[in-house]
Structure 1
Amino acid sequence: MRVPSRSPGQRPVPSIPTSAPTRRAPAGPSRRLASVEPDLDAYRAAVADLLVEVGALASAASTAARQVLVDQRLREPAIAAVLDATPQGLVGARETLLLEMARYQPDERRPVSDLTALVRIYLLSRIDVMWWRDAPAYRTDEQVSGSADLVDLEWLRRRDLLRFRYQEQPTTLLGRGARALRRRVRPSVAPHTSGLLFCRARREMVALLNDVGREFTAHAPPGTPPLWVTSLVRSAEHQHRLRWLGYAAWLPSGHCLGWAADVEMAWFNRFGARDTLAELLLARQRAGEVNVVDEGQAWHLCLAPESRGRLRRVYEAEMAV
């Protein structure tokens, strides 16, 4: 299983160039000195090692040993430094993960189909939470719909200002039926995804996805469809609904802050373009622009705070505002 999070020394440098900037210190003040910020390369490497051990203890008979292993590994300095910098702190993050593991029931129909994926998604998404620990979340659907910080994607799409695709989530039984029929008749037209409940996004996220979309189009095999976005901003209210359906939807989440997106990966296998997109995203992670989490069918991206100012300027230049 690919884990998009190992340190640069453990993975070859991608052959595809990237337009992402190199890592640089934050322009504004921070709650910590830059010299004591957690080492994300060390964190991702430690998580990758932990996942190997969790996979080796995946059977039901190993439940107790697995819980002890995770409890011990989360206290290691490389992992503890990141978890301690989240709003929950190390103790809260550890208790949440151990509880989720204890509640987990294998089910191939669930979006999170194995225990290793649950641990990977939870731990790597804590980087998002650490980065944006002071940002307020969108608590309700109404807050997402009425926020002045979000722009209407449909307005941008109609003016051909987006370099990525998405589909809106159908809200009626007739709409869902038509979507299911189209998937069966023309499976290559769109990936198997429910679509966006809110067709809105932060301006910086639009600039990021446009940039990735252009790069993907330039390097993907001929005939490959554009970058496809499966999820953007969500409310905490909607996050609870997704959790009830079995998705790895925890709070806090970068989606509920407006700084995260999910992009389709599995569907691009049919075009021979999945690995190309993976290399592009991982290169941006190494450059410090985003955090990347392999969630299986889709990969999760969260924008690093240091990139916010640059991408806001890119958006304003592209949209002439």
Structure 2
Amino acid sequence: MRVPSRSPGHRSGPPVTPARRRPRGIARPPVAAPPDLAAYRDAVAELLVEVSALAGVSSAKARQVLIDQRLREPAIMQVLDATSQGLVGARETLLLEMARYQPNERSSAADLAALVRIYLLSRIDVMWWRDATTFLTDSEVNHSAELVDLEWLRRRDLLQFQYTEQPRTIVGRGVRALRRRMLPDATPRTAGLLFRRARREVIALLNDIGREFAAATPAGTPPLWVTSLVRSAEHQYRLRRLGYAAMVPSGHCLGWAVDVEMAWYRRFGARDTLAGLLLNRQQAGEINVVDEGQAWHICLAPSATLRLRRAYEAEMGI
């Protein structure tokens, strides 16, 4: 497809002076190095130990002092300062999340330390995709040309992972409840996808992981199971009202984050295998991983999008 020229054409006025070359011997201004994500994750792990030690209700003031100090450490500050909220906004959001935290069965944050871990590690997503546009409404997700309908691909056997959709009717919810009573461990305990749509690059990533997982596990191990894909900001706030640890801003609302089932694979002796595959990809810089207990949150790195877009097009014969 031909890209329209952005040239403004001929304009009247004084001639444009060609840009001069930089004289030799004059140094270019230094370019800031990207944040060290390994150092960031290590610093977050150290912070979590201290948060766990101050988990009591009476320690709220001490926790705030701790957060104020630790977030200003260079390894953490560099990442938070590079997000759309900046260091100050990230700090205020984290303190507010901690103040409002109430443990419940729906939340992936089993305790206060887990809440801090999920929030801080998911800020890597927000830093990577700070210039991406958020899907604000359910309608935007359902009609976006940037997203592909998974059902169309599944019917053509083009997916290397599984998912289930949320029941839309009372009858559907009743059937789901009956199936869970009759076969409680046949599938993961998940509400299912509200939106069965995803970016092409994310589909290629999940297919890649799905093939690798299948090759590394014994016959009979279920395929990779995806529990959440793209969400609208509208839906993210619905989840928050229901008690889920749905962080904002979120990579889900940008279309670059997904959740994959983990706990269910213990029944098949494959949970650690899947964890190793995901952590290896994180170490290679392809994804960010956040342990959320039953499921793990993963977000695609911008540096991997070109390769995965080409992989998607090759798989689909585009």
The two structures have a TM-score, normalised by structure 1, of 0.88
User: Which structure is higher in RCO with an 8 Å CA cutoff and minimum separation 6?
Assistant: 1
Cross-structure match for 1:40: 37
User: What SS does the aligned partner of 1:36 have?
Assistant: coil
**How far apart are 1:59 and its partner, in Å?**
1.7
Any residues of structure 2 matched to 1:289-308 within 5 Å, and which? Answer: 289-308=286-305
Task: Mark the CA change 1:285 to 1:33 in structure 2 (over 3 Å): closer, same or farther.
Answer: farther
Deviations 1:189-211 (A, max 9, x none): 21000000011000000000000
Unaligned runs of 5+ in 2: 1-28
Contact 1:71 1:98 in 2 (8 A): no
Pairwise mapping of residues 7-22 of structure 1 onto structure 2 (< 5 A)? none
Give the 3 Å change call, closer, same or farther, for CA 197–286 of structure 1 in structure 2. same
Render the CA deviation track for 1:265-304: whole Å, top value 9, x for unaligned. Answer: 0111111110000000000000000000001110001000
> Residue by residue, what CA displacement relative to the aligned partner does 1:68-89 show, whole Å, maximum 9, x if unpaired?
1112101111000000000100
Deviation, 1:108, is 4.5
Gaps of 5+ in 1: 1-31
Give the aligned residue type for 1:279: G
- Between the aligned partners of 2:130 and 2:107, the Cα distance in structure 1 is 29
2:151 aligned with 1:154, yes or no? yes
Report % sequence identity. Answer: 74
Displacement of 1:111 = 3.6
2:307 corresponds to which letter in structure 1?
R
Give the superposition deviation at 1:150: 0.5
Match of 2:21 in 1: none
Q: Distance in 1 between matches of 2:200 and 2:166?
A: 21
Measured after TM superposition, the shift of residue 181 of structure 1 is 1.5
Give the RMSD, CA atoms, in angstroms: 1.4
Task: Choose which of 149, 169, 172 in structure 2 pairs with 1:172.
Answer: 169
Deviations 1:164-196 (A, max 9, x none): 000011111221121122112112321000000
Counterpart CA distance in 2 for 1:33 and 1:282 is 32
Aligned to 2:237, what secondary structure does the other structure show? helix
Letter matched to residue 79 of structure 1: I
What is the alpha-carbon distance in structure 2 between the residues aligned to residue 35 and residue 109 of structure 1? 41
1:203-222 per-residue CA deviation (whole Å, 9 max, x = no partner) reads 00000000000000111233
Aligned position for 1:51: 48
Q: C-alpha distance in 1, partners of 2:312/2:107?
A: 37
Secondary structure, aligned partner of 2:165: coil
Q: 1:78 — aligned with what?
A: 75
Quote the residue 2:66 is aligned against: 69
Q: Aligned with 2:103: secondary structure?
A: coil
Amino acid of the structure 2 residue aligned with 1:72: Q
Aligned to 2:89, what secondary structure does the other structure show? helix
Confirm whether residue 270 of structure 1 aligns to residue 300 of structure 2. no
Normalised to the residue count of structure 2, the TM-score between the two structures is 0.89
Give the corresponding residue for 2:131.
134
Correspondent of 2:228 among 194, 213, 231: 231
Q: Which has the larger radius of gyration?
A: 2
User: What is the deviation of 1:113?
Assistant: 2.2
- The structural deviation recorded for 1:35 is 5.0
| 1:246 aligned onto 2:243 | yes
CA change 1:226–1:124 in 2 (3 A) is same
Residue 309 of structure 1 corresponds to which residue in structure 2?
306
Q: C-alpha offsets along residues 11-59 of structure 1, whole Å, 9 cap, x if unaligned?
A: xxxxxxxxxxxxxxxxxxxxx9765211101000000111111111112
Structure 1 stretches of 4+ moved >6 Å: none
SS in 1 for 2:289: strand
Q: CA deviation at 1:103?
A: 1.3
AA aligned opposite 1:153: L
State how far apart, in whole Å, the 1-side matches of 2:170 and 2:253 are.
27
Q: 2:104 aligned with 1:107, yes or no?
A: yes
Count of residues in Structure 1 that have an aligned counterpart in Structure 2 = 290
> Residue in 1 aligned with 2:90?
93
Match of 1:16 in 2: none
Residue type of the alignment partner of 1:189: A
Letter matched to residue 55 of structure 2: A
Q: Give the C-alpha shift of residue 249 in structure 1.
A: 1.2
**Structure 1 residue 107: deviation in Å?**
3.3
